[in-house]
Amino acid sequence: MKIAVASQNRRDITDHTGRCRKFWVYEIESAMIVSKELLELPKEQSFHESSPHDPSALDDVQVLIAGGLGTGLLRRLENKNIEALITTEISPDKAVEDYLKGTLVTLPAEPHEHGHQHGK
């Protein structure tokens, strides 16, 4: 299993996942972290800049943990069978550990679309 955590500054969990281009990707085996890699996307591959129909480097993760995301991105991830979780936890490592223990505190998705206008 793979878990991605939005972390634009490489230290803390990012609130605005749509614009985030840096994700920690954790490889999980037997409910334990076996590896952690930083995935850096070019701007045009961020969720905000790319089409929901385009392939993504995150398509092979099963869970995405973030500090915030709107309902549009939530639907986009659900369509790719990625479980999206919003948390107030700041540490990527602790968030993944808590998720694996079943103790990660999560919040509902933001009910708005951030008012974006897409010409695509």
pLDDT at 61 over 50: yes
Burial class (CB in 10 A: 0-12, 13-18, 19+), 88: exposed
- Residue 78 is part of a domain; what is its CATH number? 3.30.420.130
- In this model, does residue 12 exceed pLDDT 80? yes
**How far is the C-alpha of 72 from the C-alpha of 11, rounded, in Å?**
26
Domain range for 93 = 2-107
Distance CA 63, CA 83 (A): 5
Position with higher pLDDT, 52 vs 6: 6
The whole-model pTM stands at 0.90
CA angle 38, 64, 73 (to 5 degrees): 115
Residue 112 lies inside a defined structural domain of this protein: no
Q: Check pLDDT > 70 for residue 104.
A: yes
Comparing 16-25, 32-41, 86-95, 107-116, the range with the smallest average pLDDT is 107-116
How, if at all, do strands 2-6 and 63-66 pair? parallel
In a domain, 118, yes or no: no
